[in-house]
């Protein structure tokens, strides 16, 4: 459920298919998200999950899995 919401947020900002947006996908290398894209994604994720993502956590995300782990820990 968390992964699917994150995947949907990423897919809504890119032209990528579900098969590309995997848990192991690198945000920068595989999904080609730059710092501006990540900032916008962070804002959307904060709205979707009703959490605050500190800047230092946002820039530390390297893979989709990193975001999933953060959200699991933040929404307990």
- List the domain boundaries for the chain: 2-74
What pLDDT score was predicted for residue 67? 98
34 carries an active-site annotation: yes
The C-alpha atoms of residue 43 and residue 48 are separated, in whole angstroms, by 9
Pull the structure tokens for residue 19: 């098969």
What pLDDT score was predicted for residue 55? 93
Sign of CA dihedral 50, 58, 16, 12: positive
Q: Which of 34, 55, 57, 66 is catalytic?
A: 34
What pLDDT score was predicted for residue 75? 78
For every residue of 1-68, DSSP letters joined together read -HHHHHHHHHHHHSS--TTTS-TT-BTTTTS---HHHHHHHHHHHHHHHT----HHHHHH--BHHHHH
Using one digit for the tens of pLDDT, what is the confidence trace for 16-74? 999 999 999 999 999 999 999 999 999 999 999 999 999 999 999 999 999 999 999 99
Predicted TM-score (pTM) of this structure: 0.93
Matching CATH number, 2-74, of 1.10.1200.10, 3.30.70.2390, 3.40.50.980, 3.40.190.10: 1.10.1200.10
């Amino acid at each position: 459920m968390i992964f699917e919401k994150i995947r949907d947020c990423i897919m809504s900002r890119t032209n990528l298919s579900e098969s590309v947006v995997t848990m192991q996908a690198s945000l920068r290398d595989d999904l080609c998200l730059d710092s501006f894209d990540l900032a916008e994604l962070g804002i959307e994720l904060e709205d979707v999950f009703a959490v605050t993502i500190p800047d230092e956590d946002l820039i530390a995300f390297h893979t989709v899995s990193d975001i999933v782990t953060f959200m699991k820990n933040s929404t307990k």
